[in-house]
Amino acid sequence: MTTRFQALRQHRAATAATTILDLFADPGRASAFSCRHGEMLFDFSKTQIDAQALDLLLQLANGAGVAEKRDAMFAGAKINETEGRAVLHTALRNLSASVVVDGRDVMPEVRATHARCAAFARDLREGRLTGQGGAITDVVNIGIGGSDLGPAMAYLALAPFADGPRCHFVSNVDGAHIADTLRGLNPETTLIIVASKTFTTIETMTNADTARRWMAEKVANPAAQFAAVSTASDKTAAYGIDPARVFGFEDWVGGRYSMWGPIGLALMIAIGPDRFDDFLAGGADIDGHFRTAPFAQNLPVLLALVGIWHNQICGHATRAVLPYDQRLSRLPAYLQQLEMESNGKTVAMDGTELPYDSGPVVWGEPGTNGQHAFYQLIHQGSRVIPCEFLVARQGHEPDLAHQHLLLVANCLAQSEALMRGRSLDEARAIMARKGLTGAELERQARHRVFPGNRPSTTLAYPQLTPFTLGQIIALYEHRVFVEGVILGINSYDQWGVELGKELALALQPILEGKQPTKGKDGSTEQLVAYLRG
């Protein structure tokens, strides 16, 4: 463990008794422990990070070489060392740049594919490209993980801008997912997009086969209503998809970072290429900020440092993402993949064991719904759960402004309640006012105590638009990168998903009864016997 990590832990131990409220004795705290970029405001003042902790955290980022690694990433260096790949999702949202990989400027091809996607989306939206029963009314994106979560999350987030065909997202290999999605759709006016970086993912290929059979029942030429998004053009061709409707990208775009390119095609069709470009511009805006702002005023760096403080320094194992923005309902799921698949690792880049915890468990639900479900534990449970609130100044429903006000009030109330808590004396006073006395007052009061001093951050933005969503997603992407660099891990591989896939393949013939369960453990044997019925 570096001396900087140790210094931070010592500082934490020495200042643990100073509460967040104590820190607000400094009247300048809110602005000093906040960061603005454009119209965004990130407030991390409701944490126990004090001036010295922030200074030590900034030293940690500097000492870990975040700036050098960031520049290497943007320049196309192969920083994904375990797969020997560059990491260039940022190139997908900065179309005027020139980026050289293996001696070749990759941008002309990126721009050409982007233009082909835009033309395809326009043709569909404007009725020039139709199904065999008329204009396309529905688009079904079949993909999983990074080929699903981004566009599915963004489609919900940008509902007020979605004026194209309806989009549906099928990911689970559970036949229920595709059956429920296709029921009620007309195959003659539906476009299927098979989205898979590798075009081998078993869930996606199985669902694609099911969709093709469904279409073949009603449509003379099902292939004509299929498009594909993939890095594997040989496999899309072998699957019979016309190269004119295949949109490629390169292996330097990680699956969970891929929604900026052709994986975002369904979103582009839904909101139109111009608004999709606004989304890209939001991402590029954060790229520029990340590359140039001093670390003390750098949003992704600060977000990462708060994360490191809570997880590796304070030992809080989970992080709740709580959007007070219903349209971000899938953001926690999206961030689960982004953060946990990127930083859920215990082996450092050099092959050694990490001397501290890997990235945290990320979870959440939109407010105010969570308040009526799991916030009980956040307020009074034994574990401290750092909360990340997201909230817009303005909604999209001017006639429901009073509801937005109520939403904002709830968001602010939660961060205040988490910080302030309620002391035993305050709880006693409440019980006394209710007429309780003696032992009963004492007993009831104890249930009404809130420990307080629970940390949270708030990311506030003007309104959830394509540009703002692009900013938010890029912000989290770079936060993951900075945390990964500080931890010394490779945020861009995902070897941890392989073993289960291999075992699932081996279990298929056993479940079909073609192979014996011999060699399996007793539990697996028992479950196979039960589930085969």
Spatial separation of the C-alpha atoms in residues 13 and 21, rounded to whole Å: 18
Q: Is 204 in the site for ligand G6P (CB under 6 A)?
A: yes
* C-alpha span between 282 and 93 (Å, rounded): 9
Peptide bond into 201 cis (omega under 30): no
Smaller CB distance to ligand G6P: residue 190 or 494?
Answer: 494
| Among the residue ranges 139-147, 174-182, 279-287, 436-444, the one whose residues contact ligand G6P (CB under 6 A) | 139-147
490 binds ligand G6P (CB under 6 A): no
Binding mask 283-322 for ligand G6P (x = CB under 6 A): ----------------------------------------
- Contacting range for ligand G6P; rule: CB under 6 A; set: 190-198, 212-220, 303-311, 504-512: 190-198
For residues 146 and 256, the answer to whether their CB atoms sit within 8 Å is yes
DSSP letter string, 219-282: -S-GGGGEEEEES-HHHHHHTT--GGGEEE--TTS-GGG-TTTGGGHHHHHHH-HHHHHHHHHH
According to CB under 6 A, which one of 164, 255, 360, 488 is a site residue for ligand G6P? 255
Q: How far is the CB of 185 from ligand G6P (least distance, A)?
A: 22
Least separation in angstroms between residue 415's CB and ligand G6P is: 33
Name the residue among 299, 292, 306, 300 with its Cα closest to residue 57.
306
Joined together, the tokens standing for residue 167 give: 């989009």
- Which listed residue (197, 245, 275, 289) binds ligand G6P by CB under 6 A? 197
Residue 223 to residue 243: CA distance in whole angstroms: 11
Where in the sequence numbering do the catalytic residues fall? Answer: 341, 372, 501
Please give the Cα distance from 259 to 282 (Å, whole number): 13
- Site membership for ligand G6P, residue 341 (CB under 6 A): yes
Please, what is the minimum distance in Å from the beta carbon of residue 336 to ligand G6P?
12
Give the β-pairing of 226-230 and 318-324.
Answer: unpaired
Contact set for ligand G6P, span 140-179 (CB under 6 A):
144-147
CA pair distance 2, 203, nearest whole angstrom: 42
Nearest-Å Rg of the Cα atoms of the chain is: 25
Sole window of 179-187, 193-201, 286-294, 406-414 interacting with ligand G6P (rule: CB under 6 A): 193-201
With binding defined as CB under 6 A, does residue 264 bind ligand G6P?
no
Judged by CB, which is closer to ligand G6P: 138, or 203? 203
The nearest distance, CB 1 to ligand G6P, in angstroms, is 29
Positions touching ligand G6P (CB under 6 A) are 144-147, 196-198, 201, 204, 255-256, 341, 494, 497
